[in-house]
Copies of this chain bind each other. A is one copy, B any other.
Amino acid sequence: MSDDNSLQTGMVTCTAPVNIAVIKYWGKRNEDLILPINSSLSVTLHQDQLKTTTTVAISRSFEEDRLWLNGNEEDISHPRLQSCLREIRRLARKRRNNVNPDFDAAALSHKVHICSINNFPTAAGLASSAAGYACLVYTLARVFGVEGELSAIARQGSGSACRSMYGGFVQWVLGEQDNGKDSLAQQVVPESHWPELRVLVLVVSADRKPIGSTSGMQTSVKTSLLLKHRAQTIVPKRMTEMIEAVHQKDFSHFAELTMKDSNQFHATCLDTYPPIFYLNSVSQQIVNVVHRYNSHYGETRAGYTFDAGPNAVIFMLEQHVPEFVQVVQHVFPSENNGGKFIKGLPVDDTFLSEELKQDIGLNPMPNRISYIISTKAGPGPCVVEDPSQHLLDFDGMPKKAC
């Protein structure tokens, strides 16, 4: 790395996906290392609809580590950010000593500039920290020439970030070791395994900001007797069943396990003291819509899951998406306000039968769903090769557009 083009060779841009758990992670056994009390399993969502893009630059001319998120400079001293930076630099040092003695030793002491943006509004209430930390760790690793297992580092940024390090269907294995070295994400199958699976994110207008997941799960671990039982006894069996359902592409089993696990997670939130409510009246209505829709057909055609907020994520097979979207629009009519109600993968128009409308039979709740993001399973983090896509300018400062 020469002095005059240090920034050019020391700048990398990557993207990373959001993931949605179908077997939920809720509760840590170790707060510092972010070790969970149970294994979890997620679907990585496609980056065409939801992704984080991060540019990392290193330069001897930088005076300090700096961070910009969605256009605003943020405090980089956050312990979890520092954990990720420290771990990547440690691996780089180790790698230089063992594998790659040509790597510019000086780079290890250079400061970094990090710039990160999401292609979806934070207001959508989609957990962006998983994509954010996955992208940060993946990009840092590229800049510092680190390869191999990175999910344990992403995990130390945000637990569920480890699952965003892979595409398709991903499990985060609980692990047994106290140092967390075996608490890792593993791909179960790639996204190509189940191309018919579709994902609809129903973005619900929230009336209040819910309790954050970090403090929420701390209180749950301390106070919920049901959470303990869930983690120790129920989830291990459910993980095996879920992996089997994914391997078999058994949609109804997959969707039922997904719904049951979401409900059980929210049950443990309610068993927390004081109780935590993430599901509002719109979420409850979405649950009712899905069960009535399935009941109309006598088979499980749709499955919901809810994270630490009111938004629903619905799984379906491709052929049922148009009708289900009509059902959602029937129960949650939208005035649109100029924006598109359905974003992402196109959804065909279709006919809604009177019989189905009658079987759904719920009172309409106008404008309570802001919009739907139509997407599917997708790949893990990627390097962006086109240098024009860097979020940082040649001097290591955010480009105007960010």
Contacts and interface: CB of A to CB of B under 8 A. Distances in A.
A256 B226 CA distance: 17
Contacts of A275: 263, 287
B259 A264 contact: no
A347 interface: no
Nearest to A272: B263
A281 B271 CA distance: 17
Interface string A292-312: 000000000000000000000
B273 A263 contact: yes
A280 interface: yes
A114 to B, nearest CB: 36
A270 B270 contact: yes
28 contacts: A208-B363, A225-B234, A226-B226, A226-B229, A226-B234, A226-B264, A226-B267, A226-B268, A229-B229, A229-B233, A256-B273, A259-B273, A260-B271, A260-B273, A263-B270, A263-B271, A263-B273, A263-B275, A264-B271, A267-B267, A267-B268, A267-B270, A267-B271, A270-B270, A274-B287, A275-B287, A277-B279, A277-B284
A228 B222 CA distance: 21
Nearest to A269: B267
A291 interface: yes
A264 B271 CA distance: 5
A60 interface: no
Interface string A149-185: 0000000000000000000000000000000000000
A225 to B, nearest CB: 5
Query: Mostly helix, strand, loop or mixed at chain A's interface?
Result: helix
Contacts of A80: none
Interface residues of A, number: 30
A208 B233 CA distance: 35
A260 to B, nearest CB: 6
Count copies of this chain in the complex. Answer: 2
A93 B259 CA distance: 54
By Cβ-Cβ distance, the 9 closest A-B pairs, closest first, are A267-B267, A267-B271, A267-B270, A274-B291, A229-B229, A263-B275, A281-B281, A226-B226, A277-B284
Of A225, A266, A268, the most chain B CB neighbours within 10 A belong to A225
A193 interface: no
Contacts of A279: 277
Nearest to A273: B260
Nearest to A228: B229
A66 interface: no
A357 interface: no
A266 B259 contact: no
Interface string A224-237: 01100110011000
Given A225-B233, A263-B272, 16 more contacts: A208-B363, A225-B264, A226-B229, A226-B264, A229-B233, A259-B273, A260-B271, A263-B270, A263-B271, A264-B271, A267-B268, A267-B271, A274-B287, A274-B291, A277-B287, A280-B281
A268 B263 CA distance: 10
Contacts of A229: 226, 229, 233
A179 to B, nearest CB: 31
Nearest to A287: B275
Of A260, A271, A280, A291, the most chain B CB neighbours within 10 A belong to A271
